[in-house]
Structure 1
Amino acid sequence: MTGRPAAMPYILMYHSISRYDSDPYRITVSPRRFTAQMAWLKRRGLRGVSVRELLLAEASGQAHRMVGLTFDGGYADFATDAVPVLLRYGFTATVFAVAGMLGGENAWDRDCPRKPLMGAAELRRVTGAGMEVGSHSVRHVSLTGAADAELEMELKESRVVLEEALDREIAGFSYPYGHAGLREVDAVRSAGYSYACAIWRSECSGRHALARTCVGDSDGPLRLRAKRLAHDLRWGRS
């Protein structure tokens, strides 16, 4: 059983927030566009929150005007370009860090501009500012192609590294590339994570495979509204 909910909370997925010249994988949103997107949420009476906060509010029936904000990869620009905007609007968010590459670069993004990643000190600063840190594995590999022992290591070691760096519990996980099947979802649950984020809706959808809506640099007010409506129609939310 996957524990699939009757309705899926609305969670947006970002990666990098920075100025750019080349973005072949479309993982980057410019600071100007990101600010406009957060302002759009605020104007509509919505509040961006971490996934942990969103799920707690869902459990008590208080999440009606909340939107989950997630940032995969642990890029350094989360601290420099995203967090100041989030704080300006009274928002929080969850950033999923690659535990084995703290302070390094996005080596997993082939043929893509190199981007620096947050180190332990930067992760501590963003948690001090009210953000949540989750795990994005040890090495950012596709878990569906990993052997059982490798899968267990990616889940458990990444959590240990981040908990030691931050001296706090790591509750959430995000599947690299969004790759997650029944085996991976069961392994994440068994590893002790209280929730996990996928990307697409699937047979695994539920608390340990939360579907998310991708947000890009081309998403202005009309596209944001269309994406919200599509989510509500798909998951039966009002």
Structure 2
Amino acid sequence: MYHSVGDTSDDPYRLTVSPGRLARQLRWLRRRGLRGVSMADLLAARARGEGRNLVGLTFDDGYTDFVDVAIPLLREHGCGATVFVLPGRLDGENAWDPLGPRKRLLGREGILAAAAAEGIEIGSHGLTHVDLTKAGTATLRAEVADSRTLLSELTGTDVRGFCYPYGYLDERVMDAVRDAGYAYACAVDPGPLNGVYALPRVHVGENDTSVRLFLKHRLHRLRRRPVEGA
């Protein structure tokens, strides 16, 4: 689970990884015979009983640096990824982060550029990045279902993936995602919830050297039971 790729000097939430660090992390994967792919490609391979050498790479929030910086690095290392974007904040910024810094979000052209890149999947992160566990019925429906409709119309493709803002979910939110027609949804640590609509992820940041990546990989496999239905 990545977010932004760029300058890490002002990063209070530790959500940014530098281009150099991302490049080293991708090389670390490839040296071990692993390849980063989109979640759609990973799940399709798993459904065929394959994909042991594949790692799902995700980028939350849809910052403009995904197109400007991340995609060229992914291409250089033969990797794909899923970027979860916010169609309710096109060309906007991360106003939900009170400590900043302000970062630009992808607009229509940026999303289309990402969708056109080989191996890149567009998923929904909701409309505006709100805690869905606290959302009313109408807001929940708009954030989940309407965001899928808007992205499908924009890209001309079936948007299959959803990512819970902040990683927060409960049974009600998970049901709304399933009912909206998504094929899967990503969380962070979904606790007792399991399955393709509560996929756990490991946060990767600037401090994650090769040693830390190795430990995160091993500890994650020990801590999380196998995902049912994936």
Displacement, 1:168?
Answer: 0.8
After superposing on structure 2, the runs of 4+ consecutive aligned residues of structure 1 that deviate more than 6 Å are: none
Displacement, 1:125?
Answer: 1.1
Displacement, 1:236?
Answer: 5.8
Displacement, 1:122?
Answer: 1.2
Mapped to 2, the partners of 1:233 and 1:111 lie a distance apart of 34
Task: Look up the match of 1:191.
Answer: 180
- Contact 1:185-1:204 at 8 Å conserved across structures: no
Task: Look up the match of 1:179.
Answer: 168
Name stretches of at least 5 consecutive residues in structure 2 with no aligned partner. Answer: none
**Number of equivalent positions:** 225
Displacement, 1:145?
Answer: 0.4
- 1:50 matched to 2:38: yes
- 1:205 matched to 2:174: no
Mapped to 2, the partners of 1:204 and 1:132 lie a distance apart of 25
- 1:105-116 aligned at under 5 Å gives the runs 105-116=93-104
SS for the counterpart of 1:19 is coil
- 1:80 matched to 2:85: no
Displacement, 1:209?
Answer: 0.8
Task: Look up the match of 1:90.
Answer: 78
Task: Look up the match of 1:35.
Answer: 23
SS for the counterpart of 2:208 is coil
SS for the counterpart of 1:187 is helix
SS for the counterpart of 1:173 is strand
Give the aligned residue type for 1:208.
Answer: Y
Mapped to 1, the partners of 2:163 and 2:221 lie a distance apart of 22
Mapped to 2, the partners of 1:215 and 1:21 lie a distance apart of 17
Give the aligned residue type for 1:211.
Answer: P
Mapped to 1, the partners of 2:220 and 2:97 lie a distance apart of 28
Residues 236 and 205 of structure 1, relative CA distance in 2, 3 Å threshold: closer
The alignment's TM-score, normalised by the length of structure 1, stands at 0.92
Task: Look up the match of 2:59.
Answer: 71
Task: Look up the match of 2:116.
Answer: 128
Residues 206 and 236 of structure 1, relative CA distance in 2, 3 Å threshold: closer
SS for the counterpart of 2:57 is strand
Displacement, 1:178?
Answer: 0.4
Displacement, 1:47?
Answer: 0.5
Mapped to 2, the partners of 1:224 and 1:135 lie a distance apart of 27
Displacement, 1:201?
Answer: 3.7
SS for the counterpart of 2:21 is helix
Mapped to 1, the partners of 2:68 and 2:134 lie a distance apart of 34
SS for the counterpart of 1:228 is helix
Displacement, 1:20?
Answer: 3.1
Displacement, 1:222?
Answer: 0.2
Identity rate of aligned residues, in percent?
48
Task: Look up the match of 1:3.
Answer: none
Higher relative contact order (Cα pairs below 8 Å, separated by 6+ residues): 1
Name stretches of at least 5 consecutive residues in structure 1 with no aligned partner. Answer: 1-12
The alignment's TM-score, normalised by the length of structure 2, stands at 0.95
